[in-house]
């Protein structure tokens, strides 16, 4: 079986599956259960200055799919609501008992040098492997000048990172907020500040739904609500893009990335790793199913790596980065055309109506003698948009087949139709 062990930003772990800083890593009891279940590492739920934060009830709400599958969870829980002393004592003991697992401590204190100078030696003394700076919490804490309020200002990110590198010898991972316009600016700031790695994404500002009877958004605290942070499989596409943006940014080249955002399966993890991550963090999937999910994640990833001939994560980490580029470098002459496998088609007509109403009228509906319909692609009209394939309920029934039109590779920079075309 492939070797899943990693060394990420100098931190060793038996596998790349870490639990993100969140309720599952709130205290020794949970963390020990996670280690027992086989997680490679844990980011301890964010520590802050005493007095500890106070939480409200209720705290979570969800965005459900049609079958009540959870697409995403929104939370309004703050950082740890236990004292610094208890957390530090538990961290020390847990690290002592589980020396082979990664234990990172998430931190969030006011944006003042003294505050960091005070807490960093205490954390280092626990024997923890590294620290993660929580610059991303989008609810509650920013109102107090912390969390995303720091992460949204690159200058603050750089400043605090530098303080941490100054007052602490542990690897520093800077956790980034997605609630910005260009995540590269935050990553560059962390890099300038001396960060050993970045982790992303933290949760996204969200309201999941509204109780239309009571006219209150969810989650409800009495008769009120507030926005929370969104996580779970629904945020994965956003996280993947932000990871890729950083991975292919020349200004942060080589900066280790820990992927976070909707990871619930080995395949999700492999995708983050392919886009440049050296480790991943999981939270929502564990909150929905328990720590046992790591079994299938480890097993699936190893077997897939075996099937691909990869012996370690390094063999494929970042492999998809080079193929991720700007729109202007795409081959404008490349063409795919939908092809419907008539034997696999179940005749639902979804491809037809989607194309007919909202795309390019490229799928005809032919009524058959027996009253059923046959759906056929009008190749000349098909622009290769993939919508029919997406709407088809049968996997692999519609294939997007590359069409050899005999035209050479041509990107927009060199396309004569571009008024700003670069003469070739």
Partner 1 sequence: MIKSLNHLPHPHENAQVLASHFTDLAPPLNARQAVLESSRCLYCYDAPCVNACPSEIDIPSFIRNIQQENVQGAAHTILSANILGGSCARVCPTEVLCQQACVRNNSQECAPVLIGLLQRYAVDHAQFSEHPFTRAAPTGKRIAVVGAGPAGLACAHRLALHGHEVVIFEARAKSGGLNEYGIAKYKLVDDFAQREVDFVLEIGGIEVRHGQRLGDNLTLSELHQQFDSVFLGLGLAASRLLGLPHEDAPGLLAATDYIRELRQSDDLTQLPLAERCIVLGAGNTAIDMAVQMARLGAREVNLVYRRGLEDMGATGHEQDIAKANQVRLMTWAQPQELLLDEQGRVRGMRFARTRLEDGRLVSTGETFELAADAVFKAIGQTFDDAALGDPLAQKLKRVGDRIEVDEQLRTSVPGVYAGGDCTSLGQDLTVQAVQHGKLAAEAMHAQLMLDQEAA
Q: Which residues bind partner 1 (CB under 8 A)?
A: 66-68, 344, 346-350, 352-353, 365, 371-373, 393-394
Q: Give 205 or 209: the residue with its C-beta nearer to partner 1.
A: 209
- Chain-centre distance for alpha carbon 218: 23
Closest distance of CB 346 from partner 1, Å: 4
Q: Give 251 or 394: the residue with its C-beta nearer to partner 1.
A: 394
Q: Give 68 or 417: the residue with its C-beta nearer to partner 1.
A: 68
| CA–CA dist 93, 193 (Å, integer) | 31
Q: Give 63 or 248: the residue with its C-beta nearer to partner 1.
A: 63
Q: Give 49 or 356: the residue with its C-beta nearer to partner 1.
A: 356
Closest distance of CB 341 from partner 1, Å: 11
Beta bridge partners, 259, equal: 200, 280
Closest distance of CB 396 from partner 1, Å: 11
Q: Give 251 or 344: the residue with its C-beta nearer to partner 1.
A: 344
Closest distance of CB 407 from partner 1, Å: 35
| CA–CA dist 262, 281 (Å, integer) | 9
φ, ψ for residue 147, nearest 5 deg: 60, -130
Computed over its alpha carbons, how large is the radius of gyration of the chain? 24
Closest distance of CB 345 from partner 1, Å: 9
Closest distance of CB 185 from partner 1, Å: 41
CB 318 within 8 A of CB 274: yes
| CA–CA dist 103, 196 (Å, integer) | 15
Beta bridge partners, 411, equal: none
Name the token pair of 416.
């004569």
Q: Give 12 or 360: the residue with its C-beta nearer to partner 1.
A: 360
Closest distance of CB 383 from partner 1, Å: 20
Closest distance of CB 193 from partner 1, Å: 48
- Chain-centre distance for alpha carbon 404: 36
348 has catalytic annotation: no
Q: Give 346 or 421: the residue with its C-beta nearer to partner 1.
A: 346
Longest dimension (CA), the chain: 82
Q: Which of 137, 351, 355, 397 is catalytic?
A: 137
Residue 168 CB neighbour total at 10 angstroms: 19
Active site residues: 137
């Amino acid at each position: 079986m492939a070797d899943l062990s990693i060394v990420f930003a100098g931190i060793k772990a038996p596998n790349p599956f870490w639990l993100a800083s969140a309720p599952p890593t709130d205290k020794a009891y949970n963390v020990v259960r996670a280690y027992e279940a086989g997680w490679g590492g844990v980011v301890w739920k964010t520590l802050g200055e005493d007095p500890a934060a106070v939480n409200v009830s209720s705290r979570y709400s969800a965005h459900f799919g049609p079958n009540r599958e959870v697409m995403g969870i929104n939370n309004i829980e703050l950082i740890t609501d236990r004292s610094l002393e208890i957390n530090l004592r538990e961290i020390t003991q847990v690290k002592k008992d589980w020396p082979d697992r990664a234990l990172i401590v998430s931190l969030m204190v006011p944006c003042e040098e003294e505050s960091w100078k005070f807490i960093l030696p205490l954390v280092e003394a626990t024997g923890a492997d590294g620290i993660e700076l929580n610059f991303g919490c989008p609810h509650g804490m920013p109102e107090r000048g912390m969390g995303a309020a720091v992460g949204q200002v690159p200058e603050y990110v750089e400043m605090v990172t530098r303080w941490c590198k100054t007052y602490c010898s542990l690897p520093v991972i800077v956790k980034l907020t997605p609630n910005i316009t260009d995540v590269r600016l935050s990553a560059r700031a962390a890099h300038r500040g001396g960060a050993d790695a970045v982790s992303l994404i933290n949760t996204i500002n969200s309201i999941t739904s509204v109780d239309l009877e009571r006219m209150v958004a969810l989650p409800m605290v009495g008769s009120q609500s507030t926005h929370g942070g969104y996580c779970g499989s629904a945020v994965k596409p956003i996280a993947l893009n932000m990871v890729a943006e950083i991975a292919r940014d020349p200004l942060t080249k080589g900066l280790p990335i820990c992927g976070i955002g909707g990871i619930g399966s080995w395949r999700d993890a492999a995708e983050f790793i392919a886009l440049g991550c050296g480790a991943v963090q999981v939270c929502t999937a564990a909150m929905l199913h328990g720590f046992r999910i790591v079994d299938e994640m480890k097993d699936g990833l190893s077997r897939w790596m075996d099937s691909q001939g990869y012996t370690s994560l390094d063999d494929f980490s970042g492999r998809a980065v080079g193929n991720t580029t700007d729109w202007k470098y795409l081959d404008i002459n490349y063409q795919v055309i939908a092809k419907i496998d008539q034997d696999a088609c179940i005749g639902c007509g979804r491809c037809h109506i989607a194309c007919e109403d909202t795309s390019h009228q490229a799928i005809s509906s032919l009524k058959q003698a027996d009253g059923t319909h046959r759906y056929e692609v009008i190749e000349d009209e098909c622009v290769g948009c993939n919508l029919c394939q997406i709407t088809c309920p049968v996997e692999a029934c519609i294939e997007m087949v590359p069409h050899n039109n005999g035209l050479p590779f041509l990107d927009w920079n060199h396309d004569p139709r571009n008024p700003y075309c670069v003469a070739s």
